[in-house]
Amino acid sequence: MPRKKKEPETRPSAAPEEDSVYIAGAGITREDDVAETLRKNYMPYTMSVIISRAIPEIDGFKPSHRKLLYTMYQMGLLTGQRTKSANVVGQTMKLNPHGDQAIYETMVRMARGNETLLHPYVDSKGNFGKAYSRDMAYAASRYTEVKLAKIAEELFRDINKDTVDFVPNYDNTMQEPTLLPASFPSVLVNSNLGIAVGMASSICPFNLAEVCETTVALLKDPKHDISLTLKAPDFPGGGILLRDPDVLREVYENGRGSFRIRSKYEYFKDSRCIEVTEIPPSTSVEAIMDKVIELVKSGKVKEIADIRDETDKNGLKIAIDLKRGVDPDPFMRKLFKLTPLEDTFSCNFTLLINGVPKLLGAREILLEWIAFRRKCIARRTQYELNGKLARLHLLEGLEKILLDIDKAIKIIRETEEEKDVIPNLMIGFGIDEIQANFIAEIRLRHLNREYILTRVAETEQIRKDIEELQEILGNQKLIDRIIMKEQAEVAKKYAQPRRTKLADFFEEENTEEEDKVPDYPVTIFYTKEGYFKKITPLSLRMSGAQKLKDGDEIIDTIECKNDINLLFFTSQRNVYKARAADFDETKASVIGDYVPSKLGMAEGETCVGMIATQDFKGYGVFFYDNGKAARVPLDAYETKLNRKKLTGGYSSKGELVRSVGIEEDTEFALFSTNGRCLMLSSALIPVKASKNTQGVQVMTLRKGQTVGEVAPASILKKEAKHRYRSRNLPAAGALFHDTDAEDGKQRE
């Protein structure tokens, strides 16, 4: 059978759109701007994730948490018996249009059995897994049971009194609250993590009693130093938090920072066994054991005889058997450094405030919560006031009837049709329709003396209540007193002792010993481009010329010990601390280690200076391109903890030309870009205690001129030094002659 010939493709007769193009084989295509397409299609998704999914609001909940808890509240699970988790999940789907597994996982993290929250909102029965275990899975929803925990009462306090707004659910069949009127700052009491598009949120938990105390203090004095009452985060898994005042201040004021949490352990001498019972919240039992086993296999840890996971229904436990003769405390400090037994928790306090994501410090969060709670109480008070006014209105109509009951009865008896009873009462007593309806519904049995006296007394009490409610609405101090009273009640009912213990710098200094490093002579070389070499004397004697990158030069050559401390100053005014032992031994024939990469500096951050010091004695001398110089004690860079990075390491008023460490007064030669040289002694530079001081003017410069180079005065010939020396500062120096340099180097 002959093959049918393929008909040629014909261009459609319909007129294409104005911005479309016909391409053979592809049909009609349209050219769109990529940026505009992304804006139209991707931005709505981005905003939906940020606003409706991942970022918590001032009540401390994401939409998924709020919908689940409100469903349980509507199901009457604040009281009574538990119900199957599957039942709650199914009911929640009326508010949350997601799969049942996603809803159940949300419930698991809020359950008491999972131990994720400091104060769980869900009272659970059954296997809900454990937050500290990666492999301990939770049971299916059909096997577990839940109800709301007692503290959840505080989340829904007066929710039916118009304290918060309600909106329709996704199919407009139900109403749900936009926020929960929590009577305590739940946003800081329980942790909340969320990753959106382009932003994330990570809120650490704080002790309930401390949060309530801090809230009361801020109500009394908005300028209160919250660090006095809010000591530090308190994690449900306990552990030991190494408190850094600088980090705390940053978190409290700006909402960012990282806390170091250390595991808690106990040593049993008879069995030579260490039992770890509390670990950081950012790791798991399995991750710790995997890392320890890896270190043992690689030979980096040789003190362990056995390690076991003995976690059971009584709680977390990692057992580590030590070999004979091993000192447990130094060994654990080694594990803290090498394993997740000591880990960090990074804070990022991003919240939705009135639908707008904001990064707030703990202080600002509490102030925002106070403003939110004030509105809730004001709305509740207005709701109660409206109810009292409506009741008073009815009783005032009743008062008029009680003055002449016989007349009211006569009007009702003489009215021929039922529909005319209300209008006739309105006309007869001068009352409105609402009052007339209320009177018409009164039973005859109530028209007695006792009923009348009771209603009169009720009227007087309602008038007093109305005065009190109106006074509250007109006086913010009274609202604040209500909030203070609520905080005291919540703290009394639900406060718990701190689970996470605190260790100060001084305690850490007494307990932590630095690892011993081999102490032997080395020569270190540091270049202008930021390369570092460490060479032993034997290797140096046998080597030839130093290999350098094109255009690079050695600016520091120091004979020292292998354990000497190194301070590297960067282009972003940071200081990175290291030791010579952190660098590998090398040879003169290699370029060496590039310091920014070796120390993990930020992208674009370069090294602009180095100071070597054995014991942080002496001074650091800093020379800037604007002709200023500063002398700072090196102990300003010594820290209690072995911190690797310090911010604000030197002045931001000028560009750093040279940094030098000295133990006694030394002379330097400064060269300006207009060909002048000034020789001065460091003794003429006053000592300043602040690291970021800009120092004093030592060299006067003409407009457009800067200091281009700083070198030891030894580069000048002895007979020429008097020409450039100056005892009074600032000074312009003298024109430099190349013949006066020992190294013969030409300087502009």
Cβ(543)–Cβ(535) under 8 Å?
yes
Residues 39, 205: Cα–Cα separation, whole Å: 36
Closest by CA to 566, choosing from 506, 610, 513, 511, is 610
- Cα–Cα distance, 336 to 291 (Å, whole number): 11
Region label for 430, one of left (φ > 0), alpha (ψ between -120 and 50) or beta (otherwise) = left
User: Which top CATH class is 55-182?
Assistant: alpha beta
C-alpha 736/C-alpha 709 separation (Å) is 13
Residue pair 502/232 in contact (Cβ under 8 Å)? The answer is: yes
Residue 495: pLDDT over 60: yes
Residue 748 pLDDT > 60: no
- Paired with 240 in beta bridges are 262, 501
List the one residue out of 729, 634, 728, 649 whose CA is nearest residue 687.
634
Burial of 621 (0-12, 13-18, 19+ CB in 10 A): buried
- pLDDT (mean) for 80-109: 93
DSSP state of 349: -
CB 547 within 8 A of CB 588: yes
Spatial distance between the Cα atoms of 146 and 721, rounded to a whole number of angstroms: 86
Percent helix, percent strand, percent coil in the chain, to nearest 5: 35, 25, 40
Residues 155-175 have a mean pLDDT of: 94
- Domains in the chain: boundaries: 11-42, 55-182, 206-253+357-508, 264-340, 510-740
Stretch 158-165: mean pLDDT: 94
DSSP β-ladder status, 521-527 and 554-561: antiparallel
Q: How confident is the model at residue 23 (pLDDT cuts 50, 70, 90)?
A: low
Average pLDDT of the chain, as a whole number = 88
- Rounded CA-CA distance 429/393 in Å is 14
Domain 264-340: which CATH class?
Answer: alpha beta
Q: How distant is the alpha carbon of residue 506 from its chain centre?
A: 25
Counting residues of the chain whose pLDDT is more than 90, the rounded percentage is 51
SS3 assignment, position 268: strand
pLDDT in tens, 614-634: 888 889 999 999 999 999 999
> Is 22 an annotated catalytic residue?
no
The residue ranking higher by pLDDT, 100 or 15, is 100
* Residue 106 φ then ψ, to 5°: -60, -45
Are 206-253+357-508 and 264-340 the same fold in CATH? no
Architecture of domain 206-253+357-508 in this structure: Orthogonal Bundle (1.10)
Please give the DSSP secondary-structure letter assigned to residue 300: S
Selected from 3.40.50.880, 1.10.540.10, 3.90.1150.10, 2.120.10.90, the CATH number assigned to the domain covering 510-740 reads 2.120.10.90
The strand pairing partners of 269, in sequence order, are none
Classify 524 as helix, strand or coil.
Answer: strand
Least confident of 313-322, 434-443, 665-674: 434-443
Q: Which of 45, 143, 170, 520 is catalytic?
A: 143
Cβ within 8 Å of residue 645, ≥6 positions away = 574, 575, 576, 577
**CA neighbours closer than 13 Å in the CB half-sphere of residue 18:** 0
DSSP H helices in 580-701: 595-598
DSSP string over 665-695: --EEEEEETTSEEEEEEGGGSPB-S-TT---
Render pLDDT for 567-594 as a digit per residue (tens, 0 to 9): 999 988 889 988 888 888 888 888 999 9
- CA angle 674–676–680, rounded 5-degree value: 140
pLDDT at 80: 86
Count CB neighbours of 628 within 10 A: 21
- Interval 434-474: pLDDT, tens: 988 888 888 777 777 677 778 778 888 999 999 999 999 98
